[in-house]
């Protein structure tokens, strides 16, 4: 961990690496914070959506007569009333058939819950009453609820024009896969099917749109992770001039990827406000959130592994089949699960020969999109379960098996078979530290003793490498070539206080604190004199926003670079005023002074006043204005670590008690260890849900069974065990500040650790992983306590 003084700014280093209390907390702890649902504007109306009650049907007619006669009714708008373009692909992608989702269904609905009409009323109670009375007549079509069914020769087609439900199919390879398999001493093959689970932030989505026709100004408040991308997208599809469009992100109650993409509802609410010239508020309820916010994580993965006689991996084949849901609803959402999953499945393994096939298939289920550790959760979980099973069959300890096949620190930078270049890190060191933290040898003794008492303990390991800080370079190496534009501004006002404006947006990650720590150290001032603003496109410079562990690297990096510029200006002003050379000055504790002569110095307020008002010092070319905006598009950097789960399983009841989860994380220079640990803790809790509880279940008609929290189970304080996180700190060699991203590793890796631990506990029964999540029924079946039968959908 970075101790104070470790940050390379003379006189700084007080805040980066320290557990600085969060600037956000006082307002969040007292109810003062304002989320989307808390926004009230004069004359504001409420929106409710009429949603498809069929999973696949032609819309025959929409009758709004009765609905419009109800109290409070202002308007009911359908696709015929709101003429907006679908959200376009951000970049060309070879071979991708990408049918986008319209803002409102036109002619056809393709999944249960798809928005069909916008209801506008005086209040939300009335809006929901009215939505219930909009009569939509459907002509039912055949429904496909799995990729297998959707690929059948006579399957009903979601998009007749395409002639197929397969949206994408591509095989890539590196090395000599066939040759390696021909030489192999052992070949193993298995197909896994991972569960569909969702980000489910505690706050659903929310949009307030306010069009003022005479000012010609459209303001959109949205609980989005990407305010500028939303602005650009809205400008294109409404269409509306982008310079007259302002997106504001209020307090946001969690995102985890699910608030990254531009949703049809965001477009529809903005379009409705443009049409009506009134402020409108749509606050999603939980049923809508579970039905129609993006789903994630489900893949069918077939792995085939070639090994030599010593247990060394020679080659791997992987086929990832993704269930895209009903639309490539935005960007490349239908691809991200299987495509990123296959690219990242090799992870920490030293792999020369790899062949990977990616298939994405449209089905009549909710569209799939981003959720923390996109694509990697299924890939990592199945890889771990597969290797664990193979090690057991070969009689090799799984930790030894990993160690033998993992990339060593002396091989860095490492060119992975998939084309990614891992920049730095000691992956085996992370595994070894985890092994030590859980006292692996001691655990195995404890496990033996417990078994003799009829108790079943288990342990599972999952070392991971995490592509972080998605800038242009890493996106290209992941095969999804979008270019990044992120900026930060740092300015010192005439009173000497510092304002940072960033293109990132926070959903609880504490940006206002972490970015202030970076700026304070670079400028040599107290963190309390720095205020961070974000999430208002009128205030901040342009950027992509917060997703894919970007904020620390790109947000932190751009703040660092802009603050360095301002620091130079502060030194120049002070040098001119003090008649000294800038090289002879140092900054500490908010004061610039001549080295060795602290009495010859100026405070920040003095420097700021001079810079703004002193005509003798102020330059005409703006060179001394104490402000800078810097762009940052970082080189690729990869975090790494290892999660370990310790469990006790009751083979008869099928219950899993998590004893604890231990994680080692290396995310480069740590800005705020408290925040970093909190991110890991949260990711692990979601891993517990994904491994043991959470699963979106559909019936054969495309009906979602799990549309409430009574059926879709989120982990509570009784489900999540104590979590211990240890830090390693391998500075990123190429990024500003040495930062790497983090926050996703826990959900990439801990599900695999938990699954392997359950299998390990049940190894006396010959258990292997059959289906996910590991609910009591599945676990009892694995232990042989229940007869094996068909799995759930």
Partner 1 sequence: MTPPEERIVRIEVNGRPTSALVEPRTLLCDYIRNHVGLTGTNVGCEHGVCGACTVRIDGDIARSCITFAAQVDGGKVETVESIAPSTDELHPIQRAFEAEHGLQCGFCTPGFLITTQALLERNPDPSETEIREFLSGNICRCTGYVGIVNAVKRAARDLRDRGT
User: Which of residues 605, 678, 703, 776 is near partner 1 by CB under 8 A?
Assistant: 678
**Nearest distance in Å: CB 683, partner 1:** 8
Q: Tell whether residue 660 is a contact of partner 1 (CB under 8 A).
A: no
Binding to partner 1 by residue 251, rule CB under 8 A? Answer: yes
Task: Tokens 């077939």: give the residue.
Answer: 302
329 binds partner 1 (CB under 8 A): no
Q: Residue from 254, 429, 635, 703 that binds partner 1 (CB under 8 A)?
A: 254
Could you tell me how far CA 114 lies from the centroid of its own chain? 23
Considering the complex, state which of residue 426 and residue 677 has its C-beta at the smaller distance from partner 1: 677
Q: Which one among 714, 731, 768, 786 touches partner 1, defined by CB under 8 A?
A: 714
Min. distance of Cβ 673 from partner 1 in angstroms?
A: 10
User: Closest separation between CB of residue 249 and partner 1, Å?
Assistant: 12
**Nearer of residues 635 and 776 to partner 1, judged by Cβ:** 776
Q: Smallest distance from the beta carbon of 35 to partner 1, in angstroms? A: 7
Rg of the Cα atoms in the chain: 27
Q: Under a CB-based contact definition with an 8 Å cutoff, are residues 411 and 354 in contact?
A: no
Judged by DSSP in three states, 305 sits in strand
- Closer residue to partner 1 in complex, CB, 285/589: 285
Q: For partner 1, which is the closer residue by CB, 373 or 608?
A: 373
Q: Compute the distance between CA of residue 466 and CA of residue 340 in angstroms, rounded to an integer.
A: 11
Three-state DSSP class for residue 665:
strand
Q: How far is residue 683 CA from its own chain's centroid?
A: 10
Of residues 36-55, those binding partner 1 (CB under 8 A):
37-38
Check binding of 93 to partner 1 (CB under 8 A).
no
Q: How far is the CB of 685 from partner 1 (least distance, A)?
A: 4
Instruction: Rank residues 282 and 386 by Cβ distance to partner 1 and give the closer one.
Output: 282
Three-state DSSP class for residue 647: strand
Q: Which is nearer to partner 1, 190 or 286 (CB)?
A: 286
- 202 near partner 1, rule: CB under 8 A: yes
The Cα angle at residue 543 between residues 541 and 545, in degrees rounded to 5: 120
Q: Where are the beta strands (DSSP E) in 419-558?
A: 421-422, 456-468, 487-492, 498-502, 530-534
Q: Which residues contact 737 (CB under 8 A, 6 or more apart)?
A: 7, 16, 518, 556, 557, 560, 669
- Give the nearest distance from C-beta 725 to partner 1 in angstroms: 9
Task: Establish how many alpha carbons lie within 13 A of residue 349's alpha carbon, considering only the half-sphere containing its beta carbon.
Answer: 27
Q: How far apart are CA 592 and CA 601, in angstroms?
A: 5
For residue 10, CA distances in Å to 13, 577, 644, 736 come to 8, 21, 39, 17
| Beta carbon nearer to partner 1, 678 or 703 | 678
* 8 Å CB contact between 544 and 485: yes
Closer of 500 and 688 to partner 1 (Cβ):
688
d(CA 288, CA 200): 11
What residue spans of 453-510 are helical by DSSP H? 472-477
**Which of residues 9, 16, 22, 414 is near partner 1 by CB under 8 A?**
22
Among 153, 215, 615, 710, binds partner 1 (CB under 8 A): 710
Nearest distance, CB of residue 736 and partner 1, angstroms: 25
- The reply to whether 183 sits near partner 1 by the rule CB under 8 A is no
675 interacts with partner 1 by CB under 8 A: yes
For the chain, count helices (H), then strands (E).
Answer: 21, 28
Of the candidates 466, 433, 458, 345, which has an alpha carbon nearest to the alpha carbon of residue 753? 458
Cβ nearer to partner 1, comparing 510 with 590: 510
Max Cα–Cα distance, the chain, nearest Å: 88
Interaction between residue 709 and partner 1 (CB under 8 A): yes
Stretch that binds partner 1, among 246-254, 326-334, 449-457, 487-495 (CB under 8 A): 246-254
Give least dist CB 747 to partner 1, A: 11
Site for partner 1 in 505-564 (CB under 8 A): 507-510
Which lies closer to partner 1 via its Cβ, residue 71 or residue 764?
71
Strands 723-728, 655-666: parallel, antiparallel or unpaired by DSSP?
Answer: parallel
Q: Which stretch binds partner 1 (CB under 8 A): 32-40, 224-232, 479-487, 527-535?
A: 32-40
Residues 271-290 contacting partner 1, CB under 8 A: 285-286
Q: In Å, what is the CA distance from 677 to each residue of 490, 509, 553, 672?
A: 27, 11, 17, 9
Q: Please state, in angstroms and rounded to a whole number, the distance separating the CA atoms of residues 240 and 509.
A: 32
> Interface mask (CB under 8 A) for partner 1, residues 489-508, using x and -?
------------------xx
Report helix, strand or coil for 157: coil
- Choose among 770, 643, 707, 692: nearest CA to 376: 643
> Residue 289 CB, nearest distance to partner 1 (Å)?
9
Residue choice 142, 239, 722, 733 for contact with partner 1 (CB under 8 A): 722
CA triplet 622, 623, 624: central angle to 5 degrees?
Answer: 90
Q: Which of 717, 787, 788, 790 binds partner 1 (CB under 8 A)?
A: 717
- Near partner 1 by CB under 8 A: residue from 121, 144, 252, 519: 252
Nearest distance in Å: CB 198, partner 1: 11
Distance separating alpha carbons of residues 484 and 631, to the nearest angstrom: 10
CB of 520 to partner 1, least distance (A): 19
- What's the burial of 43, exposed, middle or buried (CB within 10 Å: 0-12/13-18/19+)? exposed
What token pair was written down for 123? 């209040």
Residue 31 binds partner 1 (CB under 8 A)? yes
Residue with smaller CB distance to partner 1, 200 or 572: 200
DSSP letters of 310-321? TS-EEEEEEEEE
Subset of 737-776 contacting partner 1 (CB under 8 A):
none
**Cβ-based neighbour number of residue 629 at 10 Å:** 17
Q: Is 694 in the site for partner 1 (CB under 8 A)?
A: no
Name the minimum Å distance from CB 102 to partner 1.
Answer: 27
> What secondary structure letter does DSSP report for 530?
E
Out of 2, 24, 225, 543, the residue judged to bind partner 1 by CB under 8 A: 24
Q: Shortest distance, CB of residue 327 to partner 1, whole angstroms? A: 25
**Cα separations (Å) of 527 from 23, 56, 518?**
10, 55, 9
**From 100-108, 675-683, 726-734, 767-775, span contacting partner 1 (CB under 8 A):** 675-683
Q: Does 716 bind partner 1 (CB under 8 A)?
A: yes
The verdict on whether omega for the bond into residue 744 sits within 30 degrees of 0, i.e. cis, is no
Residue 276 CB, shortest distance to partner 1, in Å, is 21
Residue 32 touches partner 1, criterion: CB under 8 A = yes
By CB under 8 A, name the one of 114, 666, 677, 744 that touches partner 1: 677
- If one asks whether residue 206 binds partner 1 (CB under 8 A), the answer comes out as no
Q: How many residues bind partner 1 (CB under 8 A)?
A: 55
User: Which residues form the interface with partner 1 (CB under 8 A)?
Assistant: 21-22, 24-35, 37-38, 70-71, 125, 129, 200-203, 251-254, 256, 285-286, 507-510, 674-675, 677-678, 681-686, 708-710, 714, 716-718, 720, 722-723
């Amino acid at each position: 961990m970075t101790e104070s003084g470790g940050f390379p700014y003379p006189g700084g280093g007080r805040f980066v690496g320290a557990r600085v209390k969060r600037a956000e907390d006082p307002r969040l702890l007292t109810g003062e914070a304002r989320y989307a649902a808390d926004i009230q504007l004069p004359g504001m109306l409420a929106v409710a959506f009429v949603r498809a009650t069929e999973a696949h049907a032609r819309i025959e007619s929409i009758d709004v007569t009765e609905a419009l006669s109800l109290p409070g009714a202002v308007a009911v708008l359908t696709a015929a009333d709101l003429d907006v373009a679908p959200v376009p692909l951000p970049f060309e992608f070879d071979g991708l058939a990408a049918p986008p989702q319209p803002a409102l269904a036109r002619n056809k609905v393709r999944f249960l819950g798809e928005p069909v009409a916008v209801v506008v009323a005086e209040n939300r109670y009335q809006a929901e009453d009215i939505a219930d009375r909009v009569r939509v007549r459907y002509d039912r079509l055949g429904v496909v609820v799995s990729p297998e069914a959707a690929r059948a020769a006579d399957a009903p087609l979601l998009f007749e024009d395409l002639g197929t439900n397969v949206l994408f199919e591509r095989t890539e390879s590196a090395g000599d896969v066939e040759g390696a398999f021909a030489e192999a001493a052992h070949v193993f093959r298995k197909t896994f099917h991972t569960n569909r689970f969702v980000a489910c932030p505690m706050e659903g989505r929310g949009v307030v749109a306010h069009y003022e026709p005479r000012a010609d100004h459209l303001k959109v408040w949205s609980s989005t992770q990407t305010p500028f991308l939303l602005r650009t997208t809205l400008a294109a599809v409404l269409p509306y001039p982008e310079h007259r469009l302002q997106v504001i992100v209020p307090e946001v109650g969690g995102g985890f990827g699910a608030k990254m993409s531009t949703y049809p509802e965001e477009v529809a609410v903005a379009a409705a406000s443009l049409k009506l010239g009134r402020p409108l508020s749509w606050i999603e309820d939980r049923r809508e959130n579970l039905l129609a916010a993006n789903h994630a994580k489900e893949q069918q993965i077939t792995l085939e592994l070639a090994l030599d006689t010593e247990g060394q991996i020679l080659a791997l084949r992987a086929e990832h089949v993704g269930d895209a849901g009903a639309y490539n609803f935005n960007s490349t959402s239908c691809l991200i699960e299987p495509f990123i999953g296959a690219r990242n499945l090799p992870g920490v393994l030293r792999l020369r020969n790899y062949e990977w096939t990616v298939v994405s298939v449209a089905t009549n289920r909710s569209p799939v999109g981003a959720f923390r550790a996109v694509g990697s959760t299924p890939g990592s979980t199945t890889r771990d379960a597969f290797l664990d099973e193979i090690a057991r069959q070969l009689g090799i300890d799984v930790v030894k098996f990993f160690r033998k096949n993992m990339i060593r620190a002396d091989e860095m930078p490492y060119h992975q078979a998939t084309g990614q270049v891992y920049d730095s890190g000691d992956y085996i060191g992370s595994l070894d530290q985890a092994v030590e933290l859980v006292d692996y040898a001691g655990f195995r003794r404890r496990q033996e003793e417990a078994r003799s008492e009829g108790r079943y303990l288990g342990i599972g390991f999952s070392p991971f490498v995490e592509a972080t800080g998605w800038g242009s370079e890493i996106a290209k190496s992941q095969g999804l070539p979008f270019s990044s534009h992120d900026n930060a501004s740092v300015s010192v006002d005439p009173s000497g206080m510092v304002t940072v404006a960033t293109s990132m947006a926070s959903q609880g990650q504490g940006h206002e604190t972490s970015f202030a720590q970076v700026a304070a150290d670079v400028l040599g001032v107290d963190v309390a004199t720095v205020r961070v603003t974000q999430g208002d496109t009128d205030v901040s410079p342009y950027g992509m926003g917060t997703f894919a562990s970007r904020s620390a690297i790109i947000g932190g990096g751009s703040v660092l670079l802009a603050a360095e510029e301002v620091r130079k200006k502060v030194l120049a002003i002070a040098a001119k005023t003090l008649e000294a050379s800038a090289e002879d000055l140092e900054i500490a504790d908010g004061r610039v002074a001549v080295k060795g002569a602290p009495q010859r110095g100026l405070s920040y307020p003095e420097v700021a006043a001079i810079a703004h008002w002193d005509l003798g010092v102020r330059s005409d070319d703006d060179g001394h204005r104490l402000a800078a905006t810097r762009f940052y598009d970082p080189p690729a950097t990869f975090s790494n670590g290892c999660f370990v789960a310790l469990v006790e399983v009751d083979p008869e009841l099928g219950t899993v008690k998590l004893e604890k989860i231990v994680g080692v994380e290396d995310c480069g220079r740590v800005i705020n260890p408290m925040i970093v640990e909190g991110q890991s803790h949260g990711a692990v809790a979601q891993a517990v849900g994904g491994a043991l509880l959470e699963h979106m279940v559909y019936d054969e008609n495309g009906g979602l069974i799990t549309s409430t929290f009574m059926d879709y189970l989120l982990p509570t304080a009784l489900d999540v065990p104590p979590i211990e996180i240890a830090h390693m700190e391998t500075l990123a060699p190429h990024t500003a500040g040495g930062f790497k991203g983090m926050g996703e590793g826990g959900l990439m890796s801990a599900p695999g650790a938990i699954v392997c631990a359950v299998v390990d506990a049940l190894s006396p029964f010959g258990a292997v992983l059959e289906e996910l999540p590991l609910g009591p029924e599945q676990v009892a079946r694995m232990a042989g306590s229940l007869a094996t039968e068909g799995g759930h959908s």
